[in-house]
Chain A
């Protein structure tokens, strides 16, 4: 299975990763190899097997609607690269096209 350079660029963009030209070539080759390896699974006939979305044989696990104490804002913000006045501070979001 071949993964093109364009597909690598697309996936990198979705993951917000900056990838150099050399890396694009390398990842395209490496990812193609991985896909080919995993593609071996396609040789199995799974038409009579239920798809697995979960490995545990469990369903209907709930919690009651009870409020528990939250973190103090100082702790909630402690790992943030930047914060300001109890808010996470992020680069300006511009939603409208100028």
Chain B
């Protein structure tokens, strides 16, 4: 009898697609002149148009179209020469008209892609580039905001957000792991922020992500049944929610169960996903062309005009950094996630042309300080010339690399230049041969037993002696010179 393959033996592969809603950075709403400003008093930014009063006429905000075309071009999409809006009909308390103005069968942008750099480490491979397809990107209006907190029998609705312009960007199901999904999301956010069309703030809701996930046995062509996740409001939770959902599906499948096609909500407190109510009825959206808005005919010269305004995008910048500065692709990816960080790196390199050293320092010391304080590079108190100044002090032997890290922290805290801190705290490296010899002799004199062991062949004790000298010098002795002198002196004793 052939061996029966049990569900326990099956290796599953994730298939993920992401639907991202990016709030476009306009001053006014998509179809009316109400402000889009975040944090205003409830229901203070509405008018008859976004409240859905009868008889009003929505008119498209020109900036919305320009930003949408710009984003579409950056994502290598085909911009449709003819496009229109559609009504998506459903009832929900945050939707005043009973329909959302969106796009359906003729979206503005289609068939694009985004290239994502993945970190090294998976199966020993080095960093690699993966191309993830963009199925479509279309313009639509946002709904209002529901508030339930502290309310027993009712919910509250704030319609300030109703009518705020969104670009919905739908990926192909090309993503195969949570890490890839996070990398895609970060890369997409970087493009949107580079283009200055979205501020990328997930906590304030200007970037929202709805993943759909399924599992299939490795080697199977058909997709498994997919689940859509909603209600995720930070980068950290996107990852957690997807990891949880894939674990849930895998457990279900291994136990012989079936995944049900449904929408699940991420519950931030319990860190689980739960089934959403009422989705079954909501599914029949009865789209039809929006009669209140005229169609869009996008002339080729307008597209070319907008194409000319595109800045150097993260992927092009990443490629150039790797090529021009000879740094690893992954370093280039990290350095180009924000335009400001990339600019900072280039400003440092211009003053201290050692790209790899600078990249190392930025990726470890600088990004750690920024992350610890929840700051952006724009908040960094160390201007590029002072950063370069610190690295020059290491190069010319004034301070050791180890001391430099402490100096860097001090620079970050106080905003003072490296030279000043080094001088004031007496951190100048001891490289003077006479001074080092004194230190070395003191240490050798204090440890006759270890010297004896060394003489008898226990040469790994060299590290111990170096450590003692460094300690005695409070970390200031030049380690290279200490090493050299110790080897010489101990070697002579050995003979």
- A residues within 8 Å of B by Cβ? 10, 13-14, 16, 53-54, 56, 58-73, 76-77, 82, 84-97
Distance in angstroms between the alpha carbons of A83 and B164 in the assembled complex: 22
Which of B65, B154, B281 meets A90, CB within 8 Å?
B154
Which residue of chain A has the shortest Cβ distance to B154 in the bound complex? A89
Residues in B whose Cβ lies below 8 Å from that of A88 = 43, 93, 156-159
A89/B294 contact (C-beta < 8 A), A63-B59, A67-B27 known: no
A95/B276 contact (C-beta < 8 A), A60-B297, A76-B159, A89-B154 known: yes
Residues in B whose Cβ lies below 8 Å from that of A84 = 154, 156
Do residues A96 and B294 form an inter-chain contact, with CB atoms below 8 A?
no
Instruction: Return B260 CB to nearest CB of chain A, in Å.
Output: 12
Distance in angstroms between the alpha carbons of A58 and B281 in the assembled complex: 36
Residues in A whose Cβ lies below 8 Å from that of B89 = 14
Do residues B61 and A63 form an inter-chain contact, with CB atoms below 8 A?
yes
Do residues A64 and B43 form an inter-chain contact, with CB atoms below 8 A?
no
A67/B33 contact (C-beta < 8 A), A53-B289, A60-B297, A89-B154 known: yes
Distance in angstroms between the alpha carbons of A59 and B59 in the assembled complex: 11
> Does B63 lie at the interface of the complex (its beta carbon under 8 Å from any beta carbon of A)?
yes
Instruction: Return A78 CB to nearest CB of chain B, in Å.
Output: 10
Residues in A whose Cβ lies below 8 Å from that of B305 = none
A65/B26 contact (C-beta < 8 A), A59-B296, A92-B154 known: yes
A68/B265 contact (C-beta < 8 A), A73-B41, A86-B43, A89-B154 known: no
Instruction: Return A85 CB to nearest CB of chain B, in Å.
Output: 8
Do residues A92 and B33 form an inter-chain contact, with CB atoms below 8 A?
no
> Does B274 lie at the interface of the complex (its beta carbon under 8 Å from any beta carbon of A)?
yes
Which residue of chain B has the shortest Cβ distance to A64 in the bound complex? B62
Do residues A97 and B276 form an inter-chain contact, with CB atoms below 8 A?
yes
Which of B147, B281, B291, B294 meets A14, CB within 8 Å?
B281
Which residue of chain B has the shortest Cβ distance to A82 in the bound complex? B154
Do residues B297 and A95 form an inter-chain contact, with CB atoms below 8 A?
no
Do residues A62 and B295 form an inter-chain contact, with CB atoms below 8 A?
no
Enumerate 18 A-B pairs (CB-CB under 8 Å) in ascending A order: A14-B284, A54-B291, A59-B295, A62-B59, A62-B61, A65-B63, A66-B28, A66-B33, A70-B46, A76-B43, A87-B43, A88-B93, A90-B155, A92-B148, A92-B152, A93-B148, A96-B277, A97-B276
Q: Please list the 8 inter-chain residue pairs (A to B) with the smallest Cβ-Cβ separation, ordered nearest first.
A: A68-B33, A53-B289, A87-B156, A65-B63, A62-B62, A88-B157, A90-B93, A93-B155
Distance in angstroms between the alpha carbons of A97 and B265 in the assembled complex: 10
A68/B62 contact (C-beta < 8 A), A14-B284, A86-B41, A86-B43 known: no
Sample of 15 further A-B pairs with CB below 8 A, known A61-B293, A97-B276? A54-B84, A54-B289, A62-B59, A64-B61, A66-B28, A68-B33, A71-B47, A76-B46, A84-B156, A89-B155, A89-B157, A90-B155, A93-B155, A95-B231, A96-B277
Residues in B whose Cβ lies below 8 Å from that of A89 = 154-157
Do residues A63 and B60 form an inter-chain contact, with CB atoms below 8 A?
yes
- B residues within 8 Å of A by Cβ? 26-28, 32-35, 41-48, 51, 59-65, 84, 89, 91, 93, 146-148, 151-159, 231, 265, 267, 274-277, 281, 284, 286, 289, 291, 293-297
Distance in angstroms between the alpha carbons of A60 and B152 in the assembled complex: 47
A60/B147 contact (C-beta < 8 A), A68-B28, A73-B44 known: no
Which residue of chain A has the shortest Cβ distance to B273 in the bound complex? A96
Residues in B whose Cβ lies below 8 Å from that of A95 = 231, 265, 276-277
Do residues A65 and B159 form an inter-chain contact, with CB atoms below 8 A?
no
Distance in angstroms between the alpha carbons of A79 and B151 in the assembled complex: 22
Q: Is the interface of A mostly helix, strand, loop or mixed?
A: loop
Residues in A whose Cβ lies below 8 Å from that of B158 = 87-88
Distance in angstroms between the alpha carbons of A40 and B185 in the assembled complex: 51
Residues in A whose Cβ lies below 8 Å from that of B148 = 92-93
Distance in angstroms between the alpha carbons of A61 and B59 in the assembled complex: 7
Residues in A whose Cβ lies below 8 Å from that of B296 = 59-60
Which residue of chain A has the shortest Cβ distance to B299 in the bound complex? A60
Which one of A53, A90, A96 has the greatest number of beta carbons of chain B within 10 Å? A53
Distance in angstroms between the alpha carbons of A13 and B26 in the assembled complex: 37
Do residues B60 and A93 form an inter-chain contact, with CB atoms below 8 A?
no
Distance in angstroms between the alpha carbons of A68 and B267 in the assembled complex: 38
Residues in A whose Cβ lies below 8 Å from that of B41 = 73, 86
